[in-house]
Structure 1
Amino acid sequence: MKLRLLTWDVKDTLLRLRLPVGQQYQAEAKRRGLQVDPSVLEASFRQVYRSHWRLFPNYGLSQGMTSHQWWLDVVSQTFHLSGVQDEKTTQSLAEKLYQDFCTDKYWEVLPGAREALQGCSNLGLKMAVISNFDHRLEDILRNCDLHRHFDFVLTSETAGSAKPDLGIFLKALSLANVSPQHSAHIGDDYKNDYKGPQQVGMLSFLLQPENGQLKEQVPQDHIIHSLDQLVPRIQRFMK
């Protein structure tokens, strides 16, 4: 098997939030003189996000929404559920946070990510991103100085389908002009990043901490405990 393409998940694979969402939202509210418990904000965000993704999957694109409006609704409802009732305030907070999350203010590069990207690039692999994200991802990657490693960035918003749907993987393969048999994907989510790519015949690697608990059976060859293990593992599949 000669690998030619490696596609990457982003959140918790290459980038992670500098602080939990609740703390970041609380800090922005505090700048406006509002006192909101970060743990309440965190719980509210998780509840609202899950509900909104279920009701309006993939940023509500098929229901006529924009990802911008989708996120404003999620953030506004998070503050509302956490006790901030003034609609003008919640809308203002939502807009500010939406803009700030485009920057590296809230994101940091995971340890070993830059070295892994460079190492894979040195192997001559074509590389791309496949992520359940909105169009801001290109700016985020650029602001974190990761964008240059990729031939293209494919978000679920752009693709019109979200992982683990096979449509987003097929779109990436088409853009790369590489067959699934010569492609691999890496990410941290079993369903989206491990099983999803296999539906179209891609190889997949699951990024899983050494002490992580996996309910599913995954061959050891397909588990990466840290990104510094990736290049040696990839090399095995290039012989």
Structure 2
Amino acid sequence: MERDSGTHPDGDHGRQPAEHLRAVPVAPFGLLPRRHRTIAGSGQRHPCGSDSGSRTPARPAGVIVSKVRVIFFDAAGTLFHVKGSVGENYVSYAEKYGFKRTSESLAAVKEAFKRAFHEAPPPVFAVSDPSEIKQCERLWWFDIVHNVFYRVGMFERFDDYFEEVFHAFDGPERWRLYPETMGILKELKERGFELGIISNFDTRLFNVLRGLGIADLFDTVTISSLAHAAKPAPGIFRLALEKHAVDPDEAVHVGDSLRDDVEGARQAGLSGILIAREATKSTEVNPQIAPAPTIHTLEELPQLVARIT
């Protein structure tokens, strides 16, 4: 179960389970070995595999090369989106349990979900055992979905309904990649950038990434329920940086939330980039958050990153 584009608590934490996605051999504590580091933007391996000396190859005078080595992405609303909307999916499954679908009830469910999701606490849990984490994630979502239908009208066999709709989002069937996602990720990898995800999504994200065919394009995935911190808290960003053994100014984070992604990244020392796929998002203003570099599609990202020096 996931938020609509631009509304998911999307983040990650701590020790990763066996299903944690890696594209290179794993070093102790989840760090990328120095020998696997690349010269960002060139696709070349660093000749010495260490931080001694220059991090970039010699280049002609006047040629500017971005110092960005790692690009982090939010998940839902940035790389992929719910097929239809969360509200439409909830209602479609609820109809089988006697819920009456009308234009009014659909609108009510959509609004109730926005409120319930916004009011939910961060998906951070005081457990470390993988099975306990999954149970906490399930209960976290149960409270949200129950809150939705408590507001708009409860029905019998709600527990059965919840199990069905919860598992419906545990895979690619309810999700769609944005048209440019696959191509841009491959282009960035070919240019030598390390790629990671920082999301408040739960552990179902691993199945979603595999099902959508983009799992192998990411070197690391950091989610809030495993990291014991959720965006916009700096801790989840710092953990992701540690996995790549880079400084904050060598990384950028791209996401669709001005607060969680842009300001959260900034507080951890990274450059934050807002992706405003909807016209309304590009006009969002928060007087407490400074204006952010903004793109409307991931196709604009390579050129923007190249200007970060």
Normalised to the residue count of structure 2, the TM-score between the two structures is 0.69
Alignment partners' CA distance in 1, 2:115 and 2:304: 37
Partner of 1:228: 299
Q: Secondary structure at the match of 2:201?
A: coil
Alignment partners' CA distance in 1, 2:99 and 2:83: 22
Cα deviation digits, residues 60-95 of structure 1 (max 9, x gap): x14997111111222233223221243xx1111111
Alignment partners' CA distance in 1, 2:110 and 2:200: 20
Partner of 1:52: 120
Counterpart of 2:136, as a letter, is T
Alignment partners' CA distance in 2, 1:199 and 1:32: 45
Query: Which is richer in helix?
Result: 1
The structure 2 residue matched to 1:93, chosen from 161, 181, 188, is: 161
Offset of residue 149 of structure 1: 0.8
Counterpart of 1:80, as a letter, is Y
Q: Secondary structure at the match of 1:70?
A: helix
Identity %: 27
Counterpart of 1:8, as a letter, is F
Structure 1 residues 214, 160: CA separation in 2 closer, same or farther (over 3 Å shift)?
Answer: same
Q: How many residues align?
A: 230
The structure 2 residue matched to 1:128, chosen from 189, 196, 215, is: 196
Alignment partners' CA distance in 2, 1:90 and 1:6: 41
Alignment partners' CA distance in 2, 1:74 and 1:209: 26
Partner of 1:74: 144
Counterpart of 1:231, as a letter, is P
Counterpart of 2:73, as a letter, is W
Structure 1 residues 51, 201: CA separation in 2 closer, same or farther (over 3 Å shift)?
Answer: closer
Structure number, greater radius of gyration: 2
Contact 1:80 1:90 in 2 (8 A): no
Counterpart of 1:72, as a letter, is F
Structure 1 residues 49, 204: CA separation in 2 closer, same or farther (over 3 Å shift)?
Answer: closer
Gaps of 5+ in 1: none
Structure 1 residues 62, 50: CA separation in 2 closer, same or farther (over 3 Å shift)?
Answer: farther
1:109 and 2:174 are equivalent in the alignment: no
Structure 1 residues 32, 209: CA separation in 2 closer, same or farther (over 3 Å shift)?
Answer: closer
Offset of residue 33 of structure 1: 4.1
Alignment partners' CA distance in 2, 1:134 and 1:106: 15
Spell out the pairing of 1:172-211 with structure 2 (5 A cutoff): 172-209=240-277, 211=279
More off after superposition, 30-39 vs 153-162 = 30-39
More off after superposition, 147-156 vs 31-40 = 31-40
Alignment partners' CA distance in 2, 1:203 and 1:51: 28
Gaps of 5+ in 2: 1-65
Partner of 2:86: 21
- Larger relative contact order (C-alpha < 8 A, sep ≥ 6)? 2
Normalised to the residue count of structure 1, the TM-score between the two structures is 0.88
Please tell me the root mean square deviation across aligned C-alpha atoms, in Å: 2.0
1:149 and 2:217 are equivalent in the alignment: yes
Cα deviation digits, residues 167-210 of structure 1 (max 9, x gap): 00000011111111211111111111112111222122111248
Q: Secondary structure at the match of 1:66?
A: helix
Offset of residue 111 of structure 1: 2.2
1:119 and 2:187 are equivalent in the alignment: yes
Contact 1:79 1:90 in 2 (8 A): no
Q: Secondary structure at the match of 2:195?
A: strand
Counterpart of 2:291, as a letter, is V
